[in-house]
């Protein structure tokens, strides 16, 4: 299984002493879950990792960035296209 590189978050509201442990744990849980390459909705990922859906969405975006491994995150519609429900799949980058 691929390892997640050391994480380094940033942003105007990011305070390492308050956020580093929480965000690092969150992205690692999401990465570990999604490393099986299965399709899941944000709600399914949130439920399995105990992370809020907006945070799951943000962490999936992070996983696409070079500093977080430049992994491929695919997205597709699930079910009735008019519902606007998407599911995601992580394809971990091999090193």
Rounded mean pLDDT of 61-83? 93
Does the residue 27 lie in any domain?
yes
Its domain, for residue 85, covers 16-91
Does the residue 41 lie in any domain?
yes
CATH number at residue 35: 1.10.10.10
Model confidence pLDDT, tens digit, residues 43-52: 999 999 999 9
Backbone angles phi, psi at 6, to 5 degrees: -55, 130
Q: What would you measure as the largest C-alpha separation in the chain, in angstroms?
A: 43
* Rounded CA separation 6/68 (Å): 7
Does the residue 1 lie in any domain?
no
Q: Report the DSSP beta bridge partners of residue 90.
A: 73
Sheet holding 40-41, edge to edge: 40-41, 86-91, 72-77
Model confidence pLDDT, tens digit, residues 9-32: 888 888 888 988 899 999 999 999
**75 pLDDT more than 60:** yes
Of residues 7 and 27, more confidence is placed in 27
């Amino acid at each position: 299984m691929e390892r997640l590189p050391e994480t380094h978050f940033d942003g105007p509201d990011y305070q390492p002493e308050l956020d580093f442990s929480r965000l690092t744990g969150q992205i690692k849980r999401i990465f570990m879950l999604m490393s099986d390459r299965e399709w899941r909705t944000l709600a399914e990922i949130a439920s399995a990792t105990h992370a809020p859906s907006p945070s799951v969405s943000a962490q999936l975006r992070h996983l696409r960035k070079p500093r977080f491994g430049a992994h491929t995150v695919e997205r597709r519609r699930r079910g009735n296209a008019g519902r606007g429900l998407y599911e995601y799949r992580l394809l971990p980058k091999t090193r």
